[in-house]
Structure 1
């Protein structure tokens, strides 16, 4: 596999890899740190990846071991999960990730079902780098009104995505 192809695989998997790590670490700051370490290890082991195999599964396995290493560093903290629970969480996260493409399709379809105003504000909030304050100010809304509008839109999206054909582990 060329370096360019490997980089494309690695960059294309970042959101899924972060979500997987976060499901194990349960702390966004730790998840970001582990993601960076995982990326370093993946890059160092790029020559060990076998083209044609499942890149996500390979990167998840590396991430799993990086989460374990991070946990060892945090052993002095009060709340540390045992390895069996972490293994269960990892298995569940991997099963859920298998459903990722289907959930993405559902989400795109559900976004189309939102009313124009909700769709516009969801796009502004999650498709730009703008803050709630900036969006509210530009739309002549209070921040609380914008939060309420986004809350209702997210609730509609969750109901819509989960209302599709049953997928084990989604609800």
Structure 2
């Protein structure tokens, strides 16, 4: 008798730490609400949702703040993936992802952490994307500083 049950893999992909619903939703061009389940397998990610069942490569995902910073091995995974896709830089949705993350920052320290991460990976991004993200970063920083100033002014008036 041949067993059809395969043992679960104990291997965790090094890029699994960058898995996020927001990034996967951008890759698949679906709203986050449509995603019901994300299963991290040894070599790929299975995304299941309403009318959706797709595999996603770990190497498609952008790095995020709050986990270990990208390593040389991570850069190797990304460059191999892009070579296979015949692209020179990170996919365009990375810019959308980071622009969204900048807009979700609640304070300057959080925005600074995202900016530091982008400084780490800027070699992966095209010149146009770097310029666009810098502009968005400056706008968000200015907005947060204005909010901080307004809050400080209100507390002084009391």
Tell me which protein shows more helix as a share of its residues.
Answer: 1
TM-score by length of 1: 0.27
Tell me which protein shows more strand as a share of its residues.
Answer: 2
TM-score by length of 2: 0.29
